[in-house]
Amino acid sequence: MRTHLAEPVAAALAAGRPVVALESTIIAHGLPRPRNLQAARAFEAQLTELGVTPATIALLDGEIRIGLCDEQLIRVAGDDDVVKVSVRDLPVALATHSSGATTVAATAYLTARAGIRVFATGGLGGVHRLASQTFDESADLPTLALTPITVVSAGVKSILDIAATLERMETLGITVLGYGTRSFPGFWVTDSGYELDWSVPDAATVAQVMAARDELGLTGAVVVANPLAAEQQLDPALHDAALSRALTAAEEQGLRGKEVSPYLLASMVEQTGGRSLEVNLDIATNNVRVAGEIARAWAALAP
């Protein structure tokens, strides 16, 4: 397998020091330039300040890179030829020597293969609205069902069917923990309106859950649902109005399948005057912090 661990990542793993994986889709496709590169550097610096080694993951010229140098970050952030790569795309990207930014599913899969246990992202994919007609469900869910990784996210984006997503995670055996809350976050908003079965108070408890998962031999992921503070969230009234208009417009335009999510996300940015994009960055920053704390707790607990 053409997988290259950056020297700092390899050294940290060998010494049992904390490491947190970061996806690259948010850099290549999730944020506008030059904010994307600034954010990528800030996330890595945030982990370094916590004493945690960052491992941003991407494919470059058909090689899997676990940990990027600054020159590689610049390339992922600025190269139009960097495509979005999910799990199903990995063998094709490798065989064709392509460069790709990894989605949540691909990042989780590659993270686990590298022996990294904690991964920070913004929000997970899930079951799409009207999935009973379109069968549209993110590859994130089945991948996490088979991947022993702990993922810190702000729930799932509210453009999805959150109730159906929670049901699917239960069916697939994905453990979901509210971080200091029983309310499942709705990405831009602190509370999606759905209650979780389990809540944990701190990173040390998450590490204990991870250890118990290993003891039981379970193969699924632990999802840590980490909401933004209420004062940082997108105003719920603004959120609901913008989402309603976006959903109506998507239906009127007859959008289906892969066309829907990019349209809804772009529409949310436009209709909130860019506020949803700023909240995106706050979400990612908050999740990186919590992932760093969990990685430290895991390194202290694991033999």
Considering the candidates 49, 157, 167, 251, report the single residue annotated as catalytic: 157
157 is catalytic: yes
Return the closest-CA partner of residue 295 out of 175, 106, 152.
152
Q: Is 84 a catalytic residue?
A: no
Give the contacts of 212 (CB within 8 A, at least 6 positions apart).
Answer: none
Which one of 23, 44, 137, 293 is the catalytic residue? Answer: 23
Report the sign of the C-alpha dihedral through residues 25, 27, 29, 30, in that order.
positive
Assigned token pair, 274: 């860019």
What amino acid occupies position 21? A
For 207, 277, 289, the CA distances from 148, given in Å and listed in that order, are: 13, 30, 21
Q: Report d(CA 35, CA 24) in Å as an integer.
A: 14
DSSP letters for 58-91: EEETTEEEES--HHHHHHHHH-TT-EEE-GGGHH
Catalytic positions are: 23, 157
